[in-house]
Amino acid sequence: MSATSMETSRYTWGADEHLVVQLSESMSLRANFQAMAIGSDLKAQNIAGITDIYPGNASFLVRFNPDEIDPYEVEKIVRAAEMRVADGAVRGIETRICEVPVWYNDPYTNETGSRFRDRHQAPDMTDLEFAAAQNNLPSVEAFIEAHAGAPWITSMLGFVAGLPWFFQMVPQERQLQVPKYVRPRTDTPKQTIGHGGCFSAIYSVRGAGGYQMFGITPVPIYDPENKLPDFAETMIFFRPGDIVKFRAIDEPEYRAIEAAVEARTYRYKQAPVSFVLEEYEASPDLYNEKLIGALNAS
């Protein structure tokens, strides 16, 4: 990743404790990888005074204590980290791949969608039918196959507690893109798989929303009571940089997983992986097979 291939980053200050770095005007896997890699480099240095690093889709925020470190020293350190990533000194990020089971075309999101067709571009179609048509796919089944067939990277968290944003790891011409509702709904079931623009997301709690609804997962992604084993140390499951593989399930499996969640015995299927952008870009499909193979072997 050469420095000449990068856009000019924009550094701005957010009050007395924050430095915001915008790496690109538009979202791309490369820009998001840069944000993750720079953040990982900074965290590894364990610099006194830098308290938090928050990656975004194509940017990141550094929070620091100005009583412990001079703001201009922070900028100097961050620029040096950015240059190391640009020069290829930082080749990859250590992360994990996780499986998310999804009951696509489920009755819960379909019922919710039916109550808000007056806010939709195509009132006579379901969200999945609309998504398939928007992506020139012949059927809902073909759309589900495309959605669940390739992994997605967790580009950031936000909007509400624990809500992950996912960016599909396929060449741009194959990315699924669907516009949001014309006007937001006032209701969305908890753990809905939604989609807006090029991003998929999982609604961590029930509430308003404008993303198209494709299905629902029985697995919590936000557990403020730390009831499940995967939430023993944190109430939020996903982390920026996590790679996600959706898996289509039917109602009997949904109910079985739901029961395991209720019994507090469910564990996410996951595996540690290294993500190296240049290797992915050289052959996306083969690299995705390698990632999915690591998950299946776990």
The CATH number assigned to the domain holding 85 equals 3.30.1360.40
Average pLDDT across the chain, whole number: 94
Q: What residues form DSSP beta bridges with 53?
A: 62
93 touches 36 (CB < 8 A)? yes
Q: Are residues 142 and 188 in the same domain?
A: yes
Q: Are residues 186 and 40 in the same domain?
A: no
Q: What residues form DSSP beta bridges with 130?
A: none
Q: Are residues 175 and 248 in the same domain?
A: yes
**Per-residue model confidence (pLDDT) at position 26:** 85
Residue 3 has pLDDT above 70, yes or no: no
Give pLDDT tens digits for 145-199: 999 999 999 999 988 889 999 999 999 999 999 999 999 999 999 999 999 999 9
Q: Are residues 264 and 124 in the same domain?
A: yes
Quick one: pLDDT band at residue 33, thresholds 50, 70, 90?
A: very high
**Per-residue model confidence (pLDDT) at position 1:** 42
**Per-residue model confidence (pLDDT) at position 158:** 86
**55 is written with which tokens?**
């990656």
Quick one: pLDDT band at residue 4, thresholds 50, 70, 90?
A: very low
55 touches 35 (CB < 8 A)? yes
Q: Are residues 145 and 187 in the same domain?
A: yes
Q: Are residues 135 and 262 in the same domain?
A: yes
Average pLDDT over residues 72-98: 91
Identify which of 168, 152, 144, 173 has the alpha carbon closest to the alpha carbon of residue 249.
144
Quick one: pLDDT band at residue 293, thresholds 50, 70, 90?
A: very high
Residue with tokens 């399930």: 249
Residue 81 has pLDDT above 80, yes or no: yes
Average pLDDT over residues 262-280: 96
Among 40, 62, 90, residue at a domain's last position: 90
Average pLDDT over residues 221-228: 95
Radius of gyration of the chain (CA): 20
**Per-residue model confidence (pLDDT) at position 7:** 62
- What's the rounded Cα separation, in Å, for the pair 104 and 110? 10
Residue 256 has pLDDT above 50, yes or no: yes
**Per-residue model confidence (pLDDT) at position 161:** 87
Number of domains comprising the chain: 2
Q: Are residues 83 and 112 in the same domain?
A: no
- What's the rounded Cα separation, in Å, for the pair 291 and 280? 10
Amino acid at 233: E
Q: Domain limits at 23? A: 3-90
155 touches 240 (CB < 8 A)? yes
List, in order, residues 6 or more apart from 103 with CB less than 8 Å away: 215, 216, 217, 218, 248, 249, 250, 251, 253, 254
The H or E element spanning position 155 is strand 152-157
Average pLDDT over residues 32-47: 93
Average pLDDT over residues 193-209: 96
- What's the rounded Cα separation, in Å, for the pair 170 and 281? 9
**Per-residue model confidence (pLDDT) at position 15:** 87
Residue 2 has pLDDT above 80, yes or no: no
